[in-house]
Amino acid sequence: MRPIVLCRGEYLNDFLSKNTHEIRFRNCKGAEELGFAGKGLMLNSDYKSWTFNHHLFNQAILSPKFTDEAIDHTNKLFNELEIYWSKRSYSMAAYFDTLSNEKSDHQSARVINSVKLFQALRKLSYKANDVLQGMEFINQKLNAIIKSRRQEIEEKPLDEHLPHDMLTSMIIKNTLRDDNYIETGEATRPMTDTEIRVNILDGIFTGTYKIGNMLSFIVYYIAHNPDVKKKMLKEIDSIFQDDKMRPITKDDFYSLSYCEAIVKEVARIHPVIHLLTRYIDKPNKVAEYHWPADSLFLINVKSVHNNDDYWEEPNKFNPDRWIVKNFEPKKGSFLMFGGGLRLCPGRKLATIELVCLIALLFRKYEIDLVDMNTPIKTTNSGTMVLCVDLLVEIKPRN
């Protein structure tokens, strides 16, 4: 199929409007074989099914209580990460065990099962047989996790507090456990286990790699811009004073405006997703031309983000542009989370994790590149830019 590449923001205004029911990919047998067809968000071309999943996914991940939970989990995961920095291998427990002769103190079934699950996820980019076998294993593991969490919820009294993580929120949505439960028909039915499983997979596929690579790019640009680093540390120190240990709170997160500006500017100048795909199954007018059904569009994010028609000094890394009073990027010119009806539902979670990780890392550690003259090594994987190699030196901050 011949794709049409869009490189200007004004061509996207109608195309990415919330009234356009465009989809990301056309129907294909591969999605059916993997069990994704008509389910979840990423590969779902059934508009009615997608709307249902999108509504429940958003309610699960965009609530204020989920924000608290996300910040709390980011604190806990960072504290776990620090444990392994005193070892010879800079990694989490599972990776530490695979990269070092010395084993971690976390040889639990939970860690071992996590390793197997994510090894299976990595195989999904290999040969067809590996993909099918991997998906069978992944589905079994996720089904077991969902079943276990359902049982935990059922065993708790109705008036007992439940966590507000994504899995729990999806299970209880539109049930008696849901604070906003109103029984009004099919549109507000609970999610099935299969729907929950595919949505969890969507979150893993579309979120995990993006956050990891984005954090690498953030560290790289901070290291190469000492004035930005100075402003960032001033903001962090003003909030945490000399306390390098206390957990980040929701108030702290909303006060880290310059850290958030850094996240946005890195996403603008070095987007992790450099191409957005959109497919139309009905005739549509795009970029002043009429296109037939079954047309595939590629939106060149890098081209839009670096266009001097929309950005002042577009090739300059300048987080300050985001903190100018009343600043808003021109419509269609900033695509960090895509746009239109299919705007990334995980945008809030991604922002929370990245802003909090910046503060947790730099309030306590001095982070420098091993070689300032070596450019960051990246590779393109489909629509995504991946960091291949970024060597840093980390030491306690005075």
pLDDT higher than 50, residue 163: yes
Q: Tell me the average pLDDT across 8-37.
A: 69
Comparing 236 with 37, the larger pLDDT belongs to 236
Give the strand pairing for 295-300 and 275-280.
Answer: antiparallel
Q: Tell me the average pLDDT across 366-392.
A: 89
> Can you give the pLDDT at residue 49?
86
> Can you give the pLDDT at residue 380?
85
Comparing 125 with 274, the larger pLDDT belongs to 274
Comparing 212 with 368, the larger pLDDT belongs to 368
> Can you give the pLDDT at residue 125?
58
Give the strand pairing for 365-369 and 392-396.
Answer: antiparallel
Binding annotation = 344
The rounded distance, in Å, linking the Cα atoms of 380 and 200 is 25
The rounded distance, in Å, linking the Cα atoms of 288 and 176 is 50
The rounded distance, in Å, linking the Cα atoms of 45 and 21 is 10
pLDDT tens profile 57-105: 888 787 788 888 899 999 998 888 787 666 544 445 555 555 556 555 5
Range of lowest pLDDT (4-8, 119-123, 220-224, 283-287): 119-123
Provide the sign of the torsion angle of the four alpha carbons 232, 209, 164, 145, taken in this order.
Answer: negative
> Can you give the pLDDT at residue 98?
59
pLDDT higher than 80, residue 143: yes
pLDDT > 90: percent of the chain: 37
Task: Render 130-197 in DSSP notation, one character per residue.
Answer: HHHHHHHHHHHHHHHHHHHHHHHHHTS-TTS-----HHHHHHHTTSTT-TT----SGGGPPPPHHHHH
The rounded distance, in Å, linking the Cα atoms of 349 and 214 is 14
Residue 384, strand partner residues: 273, 381
> Can you give the pLDDT at residue 81?
78
In contact, 377 and 343? CB cutoff 8 Å: no
- Give the pair of three-digit tokens for residue 298: 């590629």
Comparing 270 with 122, the larger pLDDT belongs to 270
Nearest to 63 by CA among 215, 178, 199: 178
pLDDT tens profile 203-212: 887 777 788 8
Provide the sign of the torsion angle of the four alpha carbons 66, 67, 68, 73, taken in this order.
Answer: positive
In contact, 196 and 167? CB cutoff 8 Å: yes
- Give the pair of three-digit tokens for residue 244: 């390098």
In contact, 186 and 360? CB cutoff 8 Å: no
Binding annotation for heme = 344
Q: Tell me the average pLDDT across 329-354.
A: 90
In contact, 333 and 10? CB cutoff 8 Å: no
> Can you give the pLDDT at residue 90?
41
pLDDT > 70: percent of the chain: 82
The dotted CATH code for 3-28+206-396 is 1.10.630.10
> Can you give the pLDDT at residue 227?
97
The rounded distance, in Å, linking the Cα atoms of 349 and 356 is 11
Distances (CA, A) of 39 to 32, 107, 212, 345: 10, 35, 26, 16
Comparing 262 with 57, the larger pLDDT belongs to 262
Q: Tell me the average pLDDT across 368-389.
A: 88
The rounded distance, in Å, linking the Cα atoms of 204 and 211 is 11
Range of lowest pLDDT (16-20, 272-276, 306-310, 355-359): 16-20
pLDDT band for 322, please (50, 70, 90 cuts). Answer: very high
pLDDT higher than 60, residue 363: yes
Q: Tell me the average pLDDT across 329-352.
A: 89
- Give the pair of three-digit tokens for residue 109: 């079934």
Q: Tell me the average pLDDT across 252-256.
A: 96
pLDDT tens profile 211-253: 889 999 999 999 999 999 999 999 999 999 989 999 999 999 9
Taken as a whole, the chain contains a residue count of: 398
Range of lowest pLDDT (17-31, 129-143, 343-357): 17-31
> Can you give the pLDDT at residue 344?
86
Q: Tell me the average pLDDT across 369-385.
A: 88
The rounded distance, in Å, linking the Cα atoms of 116 and 326 is 48
Reading phi first (left if > 0) and then psi (alpha if -120 to 50, else beta), residue 10 is in: alpha
> Can you give the pLDDT at residue 102?
59
The overall average pLDDT reported for the chain is 84
The three-state secondary structure class of 91 is coil
pLDDT higher than 80, residue 187: no
> Can you give the pLDDT at residue 124?
61
